[in-house]
Chains A and B, each alone.
Chain A
Amino acid sequence: MGKRVLVIEDEPNIIEAISFILSRDGWTVDTHSNGHDAVEVVRRKAPDLVILDVMLPGKSGYDILTELRHDPVTQTLPVLMLTARGQIKDRELAERIGASRFMTKPFSNAEVLEVLRELVPQ
């Protein structure tokens, strides 16, 4: 069994692409597509890593991350933020509230895999 990753993202095509790439690389992929209960899902599934989109229906990725960082259980959970908003202040905000890594869409598939391996050594 490989390490488990939870992808929180609302665009079906992007979910499909990420799932394909990661599972080929040996990850077990779970997906979730809204912001409302994302924190709860993270707690329940307890993945080794979370890929988190910023613009989600119901609750923004920033809010979700803030909540995760306030919970001792998920305080150190590796989180890769993916966003289509490419401004500098978005990156700054993400780093301030504790994102492990931050990537702008569109991303290179290889780069994503590389970052994931760095965050969760196999």
Chain B
Amino acid sequence: MATLNILVAVCLSYVALLFAVAFLAERAALRGRGGWLRSPIVYTLSLSIYCTAWTFYGAVGYAARSGLEYLTIYIGPTLVMIGWWWGLRKMVRIGRTQRITSIADLISSRYGKSNLLAVCVTCVAVIGTTPYIALQLQSVTLSFASFAQSDPQVMQFADSKITALWVAVGLALFTVLFGTRNLDANERHHGVVMAIALEAVVKLFALLAVGVFVVWGVGGGVSQTLARIDASDIGQWQVQGGRWTALIFLSAAAFLTLPRMFQVLVVENEDENHLRTASWAFPTYLMLMSLFVVPIAVMGLELMPEGANPDQFVLTVPLSQGQDGLAMLSFLGGFSSATSMVIVAAIALSTMVSNHVVMPIWLGLTGGGAMISGDVRHVVLLARRLSIAGVLALGYSYYRFSGGGEALAAIGLISFAGVAQFLPALLGGIFWRGATRIGALAGLGVGFSVWVYSLFLPSFGADVFLSTGLMQQGPMGLGWLRPQALFGIAGLDPVVHAVLWSMSLNAGTFILMSLLSFPEPLERLQGAQFVNVFQHSGNPQGWSGGVAQSEDLMVMAQRILGPVEAQSLFQREAEAQGLVGYLPEPTPDFLQTLERELSGSVGAATAHAMVAQIMGRATVSVEDLLAVADETAQMMEYSSQLEVKSTELTRTARQLRAANEKLTQLSVQKDAFLSQISHELRTPMTSIRAFSEILRDADGLSEAELTKYASIIHSEAIRLTRLLDDLLDLSVLENGQVSLNIQRGVLSEVLDHAASATGAESSSLRIIRKRGSEAVQMQTDLDRLSQVFINLIANAQKYCDADRPELTIRVLERDGYLIIDFVDNGTGIPSQAQGLIFEKFSRVSDQKAGGAGLGLAICREIMARLGGAITYLPGQGGAAFRVSLPMKVSLAAQ
């Protein structure tokens, strides 16, 4: 009998299948063909990570021990989904507008982007979730053991510790691979979500299959099964009101506050409307999951020997009936439940740990904060990967340490009660403007302490952390502090007792301290933003613009978002402000947008801190405070109208100012144009006339003098011709009369030609190229393009003032454009000159007069003819020019 070997093989192939599904979904999403990935059904199925191995195996055990009480675990979320979907919608809307990455981020962001609060929430979440991960590892090893028992020859294989270790390592690997591909959490994990949706289907199908087998295959049909249920103890309808209420409340709270649920519910949400579908589809899923729990429990109690673990009935009942195939399916169901929970929990926790603990520490240590060198994205990703490994390692250690002996449901409830402590701060934060950071911190602290003392520590059993004496007499004999009978109220169920005290003290402290403390301006802003999320569509403004250096911001953004994303963000924003180029004005709006984009990568608190470092300080304007103070809808509307008008006026004024400035500069240039052209033409003519008169009039010139003066005349005549050629070229280009000579060619060859035409090999300028990226086929006017390249390389030769001048040529393709960047390592072009360098006769410095100042003007005209553009790219360290060309050449000129 090779059941166990087959089991391992099936298990591995199932994992391979998950990998394949996740990979394909990622790839489809990347290619923009993932429409079906974003269906409400996938969203609903992903919510099913609520049903972990605890639900899959534990519900039957729960039913076998405590009758219908297991239903409470399903009733809570059902009530939330059906009765409170408007509240969920609010959470999802806040999550999307504020680019929230985790529950810790949401709470910290609401209470004035407080990192202290984020760290506290993260710690509680890690402590609360670790036992839960241990529980999943335990359930997988237990199910392996169940198979092993039925297969005595391979007993030695089933070393549970080794199994758990392998499972933990495998899960860490999967999560790192698919959970940390994208940095921006708002870009969502399509692969993971898809794999989880598949697992949701598998676990539902498995449980239904076992149920159908039990009812019709063993129980002899519906009516007989019902009769058996009636005969057993489980069928007794014994509802303990207090315990039921507490458990329903707990499961409803946990549904909202579990980090993994928050991840799928809010962070991974693609579309608010998906909630509509999920509000009926998810309760239906839960109902199906719970449908056969009682029949399986009853049949298990009847069929299995006394003392068999009821948590394993889903597996052992089919096994005892010789249904190996069904047992295998059931095993996969349980395996799916466990793995999907662990994967999402690890992603959620790692995001919190890396954003709120690791990154602030790292930024603090590196000192420079926002302006540090290097690519921050690698650090963030590394932090996230290490956090995932850390979370799983914690879960595994807990499993080893606790010995994995307890009944599954008990750990689950303890965990629920732990994360439920977020509830007052969460609900208070999105419904009550008066809630403050102090209140949230105090409430969370009190609730968490009570939970640890009255439920978490006692759960390890007497004498592990708390001595038997302390449990029975209270600390130092203070009876009213007994962990399971606080304030002398004894006789309650421990869970009910702990939930009652922790939640009421938590909420009470939260409300009291909120009322007593005064919120900081940023808290009030964020509070208004969260509570009135449906009224506001704008964002709170925390920055006073003007002092920030857009270029510094760009340098920072490039390091966090990546150069491509950052550049297109800045370009988009500049365009929205009616400006050309890459540097938008540092208006409050822009800074807010930037901060929100950054927070998608590093969390709200860190993003705020990084922008603050460049901005100098965060200020709240009077207008912002007024907006907060205006309580009535009418005032709100009035002020927002004013705001719109004043924003419009400000923008118009800014555009006019920019236009005026440019016109003034152009008029000065225009005036200078005649002088310039006169100067450029007259200078060579002067030499020609003077020397030709000398040749004509002077006597007794030596042979050498004759030759020298003649050749000066000659070379000045050539200079004159070249200048006229350039002017004509420019004029032809400007009037659009140029005829292009379209040819096919490879980019690298055009660059080679340009490099050799400028004599770059023999000059001191080192050109750094990546030939691999230059193998691009083009169809354009290659000679004209080469003319542009020659100009740029020659400019770098002339103007790059580094000790060891270098020119880096980078090639990339984006949005159908071929982009070629020329970046040197000199001091670059001062920002006030950047707007003028493409104008005729403009020279950045009059010191190094190299040419007539027509080169870049010609380049600009050529690129416009070729359907592309040439722009100055700020924030690159040195002078940087970007040449972009459409990939599919559209013949711009006739």
Contacts and interface: CB of A to CB of B under 8 A. Distances in A.
A87 B682 contact: no
A110 B690 CA distance: 10
Interface stretch (B208-216, B280-288, B693-701, B818-826): B693-701
A58 B845 CA distance: 10
In the complex, the 4 A-B pairs of residues with the closest C-beta atoms, listed nearest first:
A17-B690, A84-B682, A106-B689, A13-B687
A91 B686 CA distance: 18
A21 interface: yes
Interface string B663-704: 000000000001100110011011111110110011000000
B679 A55 contact: yes
B869 interface: no
B674 A109 contact: no
A11 interface: yes
Decide if the interface of chain B is mainly helix, strand, loop or mixed: helix
Interface in A69-102: 84-87, 90
Range for the number of chain A residues in contact with chain B = 20 to 34
Contacts, number: 65
B681 to A, nearest CB: 8
Contact of A86 (B678, B688, B691): B678
A14 interface: yes
Nearest to B698: A24
Contact of A107 (B689, B694, B712, B846): B689
Contact of A105 (B686, B693, B698, B712): B686
Contacts of B698: 20, 24
A85 B694 contact: no
Nearest to A56: B846
A20 B700 CA distance: 13
A36 B861 CA distance: 36
Contacts of B679: 55, 84-85
Contact of B688 (A24, A57, A106): A106
Contact of B682 (A21, A86, A109): A86
Contacts of A84: 678-679, 682-683, 686
A114 interface: no
A66 B816 CA distance: 57
B716 interface: yes
Given A85-B675, A87-B678, A106 B685 contact: yes
B707 interface: no
Contact of A14 (B683, B697, B846): B683
A16 B686 CA distance: 12
Contacts of B686: 11, 14, 17, 84, 105-107
Nearest to B672: A85
B116 interface: no
A109 B697 contact: yes
B580 interface: no
Contacts of B846: 57-58
Interface string A45-59: 000000000010110
B690 A14 contact: yes
Contact of A106 (B682, B712, B847, B849): B682
A39 interface: no
A21 B690 contact: yes
A14 B665 CA distance: 32
B693 A108 contact: yes
Nearest to B715: A13
A86 to B, nearest CB: 5
Nearest to B845: A57
Contacts of B685: 105-106
Contact of A17 (B675, B694, B847, B849): B694
A110 B685 CA distance: 16
A122 B688 CA distance: 29
A17 B705 CA distance: 12
Interface in A1-51: 11, 13-14, 16-18, 20-21, 24
A90 B674 CA distance: 12
Contacts of A105: 682-683, 685-686
Given A17-B687, A106-B688, A106-B689, 18 more contacts: A11-B683, A14-B683, A14-B686, A17-B686, A17-B690, A18-B690, A20-B694, A84-B679, A84-B683, A85-B675, A85-B678, A86-B682, A87-B678, A105-B686, A106-B685, A107-B686, A108-B689, A109-B693
Contacts of A90: 675
Contacts of B694: 17, 20-21, 109
Contacts of A20: 694, 698
B76 to A, nearest CB: 81
